[in-house]
C-alpha cells in the first residue's frame, strides 16, 4: 500500500469511505510530514491541533454514515485566505500578527464539505511574485532538484508554499490563488496540477485582495481528478462577492473521462517565443500529438495581442493593488511603526516598514499610472489592450473548443537567480497572464521532465465557465503523459 | 516617459510610503526599467476600443438595503495595534 502521504485526494476519499484508514491516521501522517519538511519552508503557520480536532469530528461523522464530499481529507491553505482565529499573513510583515475574526467563503465551503486544515502555506508577499522569494517569511524551496545538483530551486509563485506542500506529499491538496499565473506557474514547475477557474466561479470574499479584477482562487492537486473534486467544493455563488456568478456548480468529476475525440484544440502560434528552451517547444508539440492520437483535431489559431498581455498586466495589477493596499494604515489592524510624530508619519512609517521591496515597488508603479496626467497614457490604454486580448480569445474560440500552450517558459530556476531584474522575473508568467486578463479558466498539467530531471507543464485554456472542458482535456493530457515522477525526499521526510 | 527622483518622492508621498533617501535612486531605476518595458503598448492602435472593465458579462446584483453585519466592536477592534475601549487610537490629528 502507498503511504497515506502519497495518496491522491480521490484515493484518500476511497480509503476513508471503505474505513481502511481513519482521518486521524491520515492527518497524523500529514502532520508528521509537515513537521519533517521545515527545511522547505512551505508553511507559515502549522495548525496540527486544529487538524486533529477536525479529523476527530470527521471520523465521528464517517462512523455515523454522515460523511460529506471532502470528509476527513487534510488540505493546506494558502495564507491569503482568511481563516477565523488562525493568523493570516499574506506573506507580509504588515499582517504578521493579523488574526481574522471571519472565514473566507472558499475555506468555509471546504470545512462545510468536511475537509481538515493542516496549516497556512507560504507565498509571495500579497501574492506579488513568481518565485516565492518576496515572502516576509523567507523563500520556499522546491522539493525538486536537478539531477546531480544540490542547488536550491524556487517552487514558482505566488502560491509556492501550496505547490511545494502538494509536490512533497505534505498534504492531499491545497488551495491557491491566481492573479497572473500564481496557481498554474508554480504547479508546472513542481510537477503538480493547478487550475485557475473562470473569474467569478469562486467567491473572492475573505481572500486578501491583490488585483480585484484578476484574482481568482483555485485548486492545486496531484491529479486532474483531484482538481475536479476540490473545485467542486470551492466554487459557489456568494452574496458577499457581487462578482461571483449565480450559475450551478456542475459535477466536474462526471465528464472527466469523456475524452477529446471530436474536440478541436487550438495551438496559438504567438506562444512560440524567441529564446524559450527547445524542450518547451518539443513538449508542446508532443502534447498536441497526444491529443491528436486520442481523436482531437489540432488547429492553428492566432492571438495577435499576446505580446502585450504582460506589459498591460503590469499596469492593471499594480494600479488595482495600489488601491487595495491603501487599507493598510497601521490603525485598524496590521503593523504599526513606533514613534510616529503625527498621523501622516504613522501611515508612511507603518507602510514603509510593513511592506517589502516588491510590494512597495508595485504600489509606487500603480500610484504613478493612476496619477493625474498619466491615467490615459497608461491605465486606460492597458484596459483597452485587455479588450483586444479578450477579443483575440473570443475569435480563437470560434475555431476551437480549447487551447493548448506551454505553462511556463522554462523549468524551476535557482533561488536568487532572477531577483535582481524585475522584468526578467515577470516574464515567467508570459503564458499564464493572458488568461487572467480575459477572465478565462486554465489548467496546468505535469507533462514531462527536462533532461536535468525537472518538471514541465502544459496549459489548457478554455471558454468562460467551461472548467469541465478544461478538466477533460487536462485529463487526456494526463493519461498520455503518464507523469509518475516524484522528487527525492532529500529534506528528511 | 520616465520618472526622476522628485517624481519618485512625490508618488511615495501620494502612496503614504516612507522611502529612505538612499532608496530613491534605485527606485528611480527600477521604475524606469518597468515603465520603459510597458511603453511597448504605445505601438498598438487603440482608437475606438472601449476599455475592458468587467471580464464576465453580468449586471451587478441588487440587494435589500439592510444591515447584515455589525454591532460587534470587539471583533472589529480586536486586531488594532492600539485601542481604548471600542476606539482605535491614533496620534492627535486636531489641534
State the DSSP string of A289-323.
HHHHHTTPEEEEE--TTGGGHHHHHHHHHHHHHHH
To 10 degrees, what angle do helices A224-234 and A9-17 make? Answer: 70
The arithmetic mean of pLDDT across residues A379-403, rounded, is: 97
The chain B residue lying nearest A382, using CA atoms, is B41
Taking CA atoms, A217 is separated from A38, A87, A302, B16, B17, in Å, by: 25, 19, 28, 30, 29
Q: In whole angstroms, what is the distance from residue A325 CA to residue A334 CA? A: 12
Would the pLDDT of A86 be above 60?
A: yes
Helices (H) and strands (E) in chain A, counts: 15, 11
A394 and chain B: CB distance < 8 Å anywhere? no
The arithmetic mean of pLDDT across residues A66-91, rounded, is: 98
Q: What is the DSSP letter of A86?
A: B
B28 and chain A: CB distance < 8 Å anywhere? no
A239 and chain B: CB distance < 8 Å anywhere? yes
Share of chain A above pLDDT 90, in %: 95
To 10 degrees, what angle do helices A23-36 and A9-17 make? Answer: 140
pTM of the predicted model as reported, rounded to 2 decimal places = 0.97
Would the pLDDT of A111 be above 60?
A: yes
Would the pLDDT of A449 be above 90?
A: yes
Cα-Cα end-to-end distance for chain A: 18
Would the pLDDT of B62 be above 90?
A: no
| 8 Å CB contact between B77 and B86 | yes
Q: In whole angstroms, what is the distance from residue A469 CA to residue A260 CA? A: 9
**A62 phi and psi angles, rounded to 5 deg:** -60, -40
Closest CA to A265 of A231, A224, A308, A294: A294
Q: In whole angstroms, what is the distance from residue A157 CA to residue A67 CA? A: 34
The arithmetic mean of pLDDT across residues B8-29, rounded, is: 96
Q: Which domain holds residue A268?
A: 1-493
Would the pLDDT of A1 be above 60?
A: no
The arithmetic mean of pLDDT across residues A394-410, rounded, is: 97
> Residue ranges per domain, chain B?
5-41
Would the pLDDT of B92 be above 70?
A: yes
Minimal CA separation from A317 to chain B, in Å: 13
Residue B1: pLDDT band (50, 70, 90) is confident
B1 and chain A: CB distance < 8 Å anywhere? yes
**Secondary structure (H, E, C), A36-83:** HCHHHCCEEEECHHHHHHHHHHHHHHHHCCCCCCCCCCEEEEECCECE
- Hey, which residues 158-217 in chain A have their CB within 8 Å of chain B? 198-200, 213
SS3 A28: helix
Respond yes or no: is residue A286 known to be catalytic: no
Would the pLDDT of A136 be above 70?
A: yes
Q: A211, exposed or middle or buried, with CB in 10 Å at 0-12, 13-18, 19+?
A: buried
A370 and chain B: CB distance < 8 Å anywhere? no
Residue A339: pLDDT band (50, 70, 90) is very high
Taking CA atoms, A149 is separated from A249, A446, A475, A491, in Å, by: 45, 22, 32, 14
> B49 to chain A: which residues are within 8 Å by CB?
384, 387-388
Q: A152, exposed or middle or buried, with CB in 10 Å at 0-12, 13-18, 19+?
A: middle
Interface test mutation site (partner A, options B90, B93, B95, max chain A beta carbons within 10 A): B90
CB contact under 8 A, A331 and B88: yes
Closest CA to A447 of A284, A227, A293, A267: A284
- Hey, which residues 24-43 in chain A have their CB within 8 Å of chain B? none
Q: In whole angstroms, what is the distance from residue A487 CA to residue A142 CA? A: 9
Q: What is the torsional sign of CA A61, A65, A68, A73?
A: positive
Per-residue pLDDT, A37: 97
Domain with A318 in it: what CATH number? Answer: 3.90.1300.10
Q: Which of A22, A182, A244, A350 is catalytic?
A: A182
Share of chain B above pLDDT 90, in %: 76
The arithmetic mean of pLDDT across residues A78-94, rounded, is: 98
The count of CB pairs under 8 A between chains A and B is 168
Q: What is the ipTM of this complex?
A: 0.95
The arithmetic mean of pLDDT across residues A467-487, rounded, is: 98
Write down the mean pLDDT value for chain B. Answer: 92
Interface test mutation site (partner A, options B3, B29, B56, max chain A beta carbons within 10 A): B56
Would the pLDDT of A2 be above 70?
A: no
CB contact under 8 A, A346 and B91: yes
Q: How many domains does chain A have?
A: 1
Per-residue pLDDT, A493: 60
Cα-Cα end-to-end distance for chain B: 42
**A198 phi and psi angles, rounded to 5 deg:** -60, 145
**Which residues, at least 6 apart from A138, have a Cβ–Cβ distance to it below 8 Å?**
A41, A122
> B30 to chain A: which residues are within 8 Å by CB?
361, 422
Residue B93: pLDDT band (50, 70, 90) is confident
CB contact under 8 A, A311 and B38: yes
Q: What is the DSSP string of A352-411?
A: HHHS-HHHHHHHHHHHHHHSTTTTIIIIIHHHHHHHHHHHHHHHHTTT-SEEEEESSSSS
Give the model confidence (pLDDT) of B43-57 as tens digits.
999 999 999 988 887
CB contact under 8 A, A101 and B78: yes
Write down the mean pLDDT value for chain A. Answer: 96
CB contact under 8 A, B51 and A308: no
Residue B58: pLDDT band (50, 70, 90) is confident
Q: Pick from A331, A346, A363: which is nearest to B15 by CB?
A: A363
Second CATH level (architecture) for the domain B5-41: Orthogonal Bundle (1.10)
The length of chain A, given as a count of residues:
493
Q: What is the torsional sign of CA A262, A406, A253, A441?
A: negative
CB contact under 8 A, A348 and B61: no
| 8 Å CB contact between A407 and A444 | yes
B94 and chain A: CB distance < 8 Å anywhere? no
The chain B residue lying nearest A323, using CA atoms, is B15
B42 and chain A: CB distance < 8 Å anywhere? yes
Respond yes or no: is residue A131 known to be catalytic: no
Taking CA atoms, A374 is separated from A435, B12, B31, in Å, by: 26, 16, 14
Would the pLDDT of A212 be above 90?
A: yes
Q: How many CB atoms lie within 10 A of CB A453?
A: 16
A419 and chain B: CB distance < 8 Å anywhere? no
Per-residue pLDDT, A110: 98
Would the pLDDT of A198 be above 60?
A: yes
> A363 to chain B: which residues are within 8 Å by CB?
15, 17
> A213 to chain B: which residues are within 8 Å by CB?
53-55
Per-residue pLDDT, A349: 98
**A175 phi and psi angles, rounded to 5 deg:** -95, 150
Residue B69: pLDDT band (50, 70, 90) is confident
Q: Which residues pair with A74 in a beta bridge?
A: A116
CB contact under 8 A, B40 and A307: yes
Would the pLDDT of B68 be above 90?
A: no
Amino acid at each position: 500500500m502507498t503511504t497515506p502521504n502519497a495518496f491522491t485526494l480521490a484515493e484518500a476519499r476511497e480509503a476513508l469511505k471503505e474505513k481502511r484508514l481513519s482521518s486521524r491516521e491520515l492527518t497524523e501522517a500529514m502532520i508528521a510530514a509537515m513537521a519533517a519538511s521545515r527545511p522547505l519552508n512551505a508553511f507559515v503557520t502549522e495548525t496540527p491541533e486544529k487538524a486533529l480536532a477536525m479529523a476527530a469530528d470527521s471520523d465521528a461523522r464517517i462512523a455515523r454514515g454522515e460523511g460529506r464530499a471532502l470528509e476527513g481529507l487534510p488540505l493546506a491553505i494558502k495564507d491569503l485566505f482568511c481563516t477565523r482565529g488562525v493568523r493570516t499573513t499574506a506573506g507580509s510583515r504588515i499582517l504578521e500578527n493579523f488574526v481574522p475574526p471571519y472565514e473566507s467563503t472558499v475555506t468555509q465551503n471546504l470545512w462545510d464539505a468536511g475537509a481538515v486544515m493542516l496549516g497556512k502555506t507560504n507565498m509571495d508577499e500579497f501574492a506579488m511574485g513568481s518565485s516565492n522569494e518576496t515572502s516576509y517569511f523567507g523563500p520556499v524551496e522546491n522539493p525538486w532538484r536537478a539531477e546531480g545538483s544540490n542547488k536550491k530551486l524556487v517552487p514558482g509563485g505566488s502560491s509556492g508554499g501550496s505547490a511545494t506542500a502538494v509536490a512533497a506529499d505534505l498534504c492531499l491538496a491545497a488551495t491557491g490563488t491566481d492573479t497572473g499565473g500564481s496557481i498554474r506557474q508554480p504547479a508546472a514547475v513542481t510537477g503538480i496540477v493547478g487550475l485557475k477557474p473562470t473569474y467569478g466561479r469562486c467567491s473572492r470574499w475573505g481572500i486578501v485582495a491583490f488585483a480585484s479584477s484578476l484574482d481568482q482562487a483555485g485548486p492545486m492537486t496531484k491529479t486532474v481528478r483531484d482538481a475536479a473534486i476540490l473545485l467542486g467544493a470551492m466554487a459557489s455563488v456568494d452574496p458577499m462577492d457581487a462578482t461571483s456568478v449565480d450559475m450551478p456548480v456542475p459535477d466536474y468529476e462526471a465528464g472527466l473521462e469523456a475524452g477529446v475525440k471530436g474536440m478541436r484544440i487550438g495551438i496559438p502560434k504567438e506562444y512560440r517565443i524567441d529564446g524559450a528552451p527547445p524542450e518547451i517547444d518539443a513538449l508542446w508539440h508532443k502534447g498536441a500529438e497526444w491529443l491528436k492520437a486520442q481523436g482531437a483535431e489540432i488547429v492553428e489559431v492566432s492571438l495577435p495581442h499576446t505580446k502585450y498581455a504582460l506589459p498591460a498586466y503590469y499596469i492593471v495589477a499594480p494600479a488595482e493593488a495600489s488601491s487595495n493596499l491603501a487599507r493598510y494604515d497601521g490603525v485598524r489592524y496590521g503593523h504599526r511603526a513606533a514613534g510616529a510624530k503625527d498621523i501622516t508619519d504613522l501611515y508612511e512609517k507603518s507602510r514603509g516598514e510593513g511592506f517589502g521591496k516588491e510590494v512597495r515597488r508595485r504600489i509606487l508603479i500603480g500610484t504613478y499610472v493612476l496619477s493625474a496626467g498619466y491615467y490615459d497614457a497608461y491605465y486606460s490604454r492597458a484596459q483597452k489592450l485587455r479588450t483586444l486580448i479578450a477579443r483575440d480569445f473570443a475569435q480563437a474560440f470560434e475555431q476551437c473548443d480549447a487551447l493548448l500552450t506551454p505553462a511556463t517558459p522554462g523549468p524551476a530556476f535557482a533561488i536568487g537567480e532572477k531577483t535582481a531584474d524585475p522584468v526578467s522575473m515577470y516574464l515567467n508568467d508570459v503564458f499564464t497572464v493572458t488568461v487572467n486578463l480575459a477572465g478565462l479558466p486554465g489548467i496546468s498539467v505535469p507533462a514531462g521532465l527536462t533532461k536535468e530531471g525537472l518538471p514541465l507543464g502544459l496549459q489548457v485554456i478554455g471558454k468562460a465557465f467551461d472548467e469541465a472542458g478544461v478538466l477533460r482535456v487536462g485529463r487526456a493530457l494526463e493519461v498520455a503523459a503518464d507523469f509518475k515522477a516524484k522528487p527525492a525526499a532529500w529534506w528528511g521526510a | 516617459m520616465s520618472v526622476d527622483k522628485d517624481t519618485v518622492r512625490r508618488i511615495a508621498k501620494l502612496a503614504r510610503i516612507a522611502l529612505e533617501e538612499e532608496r530613491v535612486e534605485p527606485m528611480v531605476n527600477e521604475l524606469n526599467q518597468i515603465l520603459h518595458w510597458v511603453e511597448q503598448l504605445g505601438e498598438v492602435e487603440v482608437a475606438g476600443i472601449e476599455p475592458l472593465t468587467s471580464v464576465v458579462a453580468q449586471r451587478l446584483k441588487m440587494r435589500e438595503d439592510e444591515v447584515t453585519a455589525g454591532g460587534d466592536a470587539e471583533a472589529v477592534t480586536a486586531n488594532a495595534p492600539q485601542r481604548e475601549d471600542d476606539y482605535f487610537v491614533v496620534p492627535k490629528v486636531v489641534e
